[in-house]
Structures are given as structure tokens and as C-alpha cells.
Structure 1
Amino acid sequence: MDLSNLPLAYWLLLILAILFGCILGYFFGRKTKGSPMKDQLQSLEQANSALRKELENCMASRRELEHSGSPEQLPFDPVSARKALGRKVTQDDLKIIEGIGPKIEGLFHNYDIKTWQALSGLTVSKCQEVLDSGGNRFRVHDPASWPMQAKMAAEGKWKVLSRWQQEHLHGKL
């Protein structure tokens, strides 16, 4: 078939039909293609907004707790501590924490951390910083559980502390 014999009007009509089809396809494809993505984006933005509000509420609660002051510390009871741990315990003796010995206790004292309450308020990274200040010989120690153990001691939860120390040898979580 020889296409050169077709009149010019047929060529123009064919080009216009193709152009019109492309334009219609573009608009219909764009409208249906973008809609599910827009819906998904909108739902994710709503979820993000809800999570941000929840985070703000949590942060506000945390600030409120921090500003309310430290909870009243229970009076130290050496009899119940000795009964639960099986050894003599003096108040704010950091060595009862599994993994802390006399030298590490000295490092904490250098940072003015001398009570169970003070140790319980530290982050693990701060405990690691205290250890690092002592040099390479303290590198083998893992302070991950020390604030938690100190909190148990500060709250007078001697049986819980004793059970935890028996279940977790060498203070490892």
C-alpha cells in the first residue's frame, strides 16, 4: 500500500486524532494515578500529626515529673537489706550494684555521684563516660543495668534487687 497517495486532509485528521487522544490520556491518567497516592499521603500526614501530639504529651508529662522534684526517698533499712542480699549493706554504698567495685565507686565519687538516687538518675551513656574517665582497664565493664539496680536500692526494693542480681550474672541484661 502506498501512503503517499493519501490526501493531506487524512494526514491532518490522523495527527489531530493522535494529539487529542494523547491529551485525553494525559488528563485521565493523571487524575486516576495521583488520587490513591494523595489519599495515602493524607492518611500518613494525619498519622504523623497524631504521633507528634502524642510525643508532645509525653514530653510534657516528663517535664512535669522532672519539675515535681525527686520522689521521697524511703528511709534506709539495713536489716531488710542484709536479709535480702545476705551481706551487710551501708546506705548509698555503690558497691552493692553488681559490676561496681571500689575503684569504679571512686570514679563515680569523682563525678560527685555518691548516692543510689544520683546513680539511678544517670543515663547509661553518662555511666560509660564515667568508666571511660578511668582509662582502658575499665573497658570490659558494662554499665547498662547500673542505673536500674541503683533505683531498686534507692527505693528499698531489696528482694527484687537480690533476685535480679541472681538471675543476671555479672550485671548483664
Structure 2
Amino acid sequence: MMITFTITGLICGFIGYFIGKSQQKPQIGISNLELETCKKEKRALEEQIAAYRQSEKSYQNLISTPTASHQPFDAEEAKSIFGKKIKENDLKVIEGIGPKIEELFTTSGIQSWKSLSETSVDRCREILMKAGERYAIHDPGTWPRQAKLAYEGKWHELKNWQDQLDGGREK
């Protein structure tokens, strides 16, 4: 008799346990407030991406316009305009690029004015971001266009434009 009560008790216990489990709502680890915050952040990031893509298209149009025939590098002309010796494909000629950033770009395969002029602003930003916070603050928005002028030997245009720039940024 004792065994019958024990077995009956166990069976009832299992049935009660499974009925209780089936009626419980699954608990979600994120609140509605957190979900809404994430959605807002996602929308803001999507808007930023769209703005970057739009600015990139306008930069690409400037970069991809047909260029005059490439002039051989004239170190004397560059020196007369900049007042200092300029080496061919020296990325430091680009306002906003110093020795450390030049090294980053060189190790990323951008070793000439021509290659920088053909590099998208987004790719330049990506290189800076990968290098860390210290480099992510730089704005490469004008770098490909400056590099294009250097590659084409348009030293007067480059110097005049750089005189208007503020650390490589348009004012």
C-alpha cells in the first residue's frame, strides 16, 4: 500500500511539474526600454552610414574624373612652390598626414600619391580606425583629392588649397 501511494505521488508530482512548466511564459533577457534604445541607436547609425556613403559618392566623382596626362615628378617645381624639398610620393605632403599616418598607409598598401588618390575616404577612415583611437580622430576627407593634385603635379593648386585647409580639413 505504501508503494502505491509513493508511485501515485511521484506520478502526480511529475504531471504537476510539466503542467506548471507549460504554462510559464519564457523570460526574455531584454526589456522593452532596452529594445527601443537599441532600435534608436541602430537608426542613428544607419543615418550616419547613409551620410558617409553620400559624401563618398561626391568624393569619388571628384577623384574619378578623367585626369590630364600625368606629368613626370618635378622636384624643383615642387620645391619652388612649397619652399622645401619634396620627395616623389611623399604622403606627408598631404596636409593632415604626418610620419605615423604615412607609415599606417604604407603598411596598408598605399605607398604613392596615385594610390592614395584612388583610395576611398571610407577606406582611409577604416585604416585610421583600425590603428586605434589616437588615429580615429583624423579626418581624411580631403586626402585623396590632395593626393590627386600632387600626382598630377598641380603644385600651385595644391598649395593654394592647403592654405585654406585647417589640419587637412575644409573650414
- TM-score over 0.5 for the pair: yes
Partners of 2:78 and 2:86 within 8 A in 1: yes
How far apart, CA to CA, are the structure 2 residues paired with 1:150 and 1:163? Answer: 14
Equivalent of residue 109 in structure 1, options 106, 121, 130: 106
Aligned match of 1:59: none
Confirm whether residue 96 of structure 1 aligns to residue 76 of structure 2. Answer: no
Mind listing any 5+ residue stretches in structure 2 that lack a counterpart?
1-60
CA distance in structure 1 between the partners assigned to 2:76 and 2:108 by the alignment: 30
CA contact (8 A) 2:68 2:152 kept: no
Matches of 2:83 and 2:137, distance apart in 1: 27
Q: Equivalences for 1:143-162 in 2 at 5 Å? A: 143-162=140-159
Count residues with an aligned counterpart: 108
Give SS of 2:85's match. coil
Q: Give the match for residue 128 of structure 2.
A: 131
Give the structure with higher Rg (CA).
1
List aligned pairs for 1:67-78, cutoff 5 A. Answer: 72-78=69-75
Among the aligned pairs, what percent are the same residue? 44
> What does the per-residue CA deviation read over 1:105-124, in whole Å, with 9 as the maximum and x for residues that have no partner?
01111111100000000111
Q: Name stretches of at least 5 consecutive residues in structure 1 with no aligned partner.
A: 1-61
Runs of 4+ in 1 over 4 A off after TM superposition: none
**TM-score, length of structure 1 as denominator length:** 0.58
The one-letter code matched in structure 1 to 2:114 is Q
Q: Higher helix share goes to which structure? A: 1
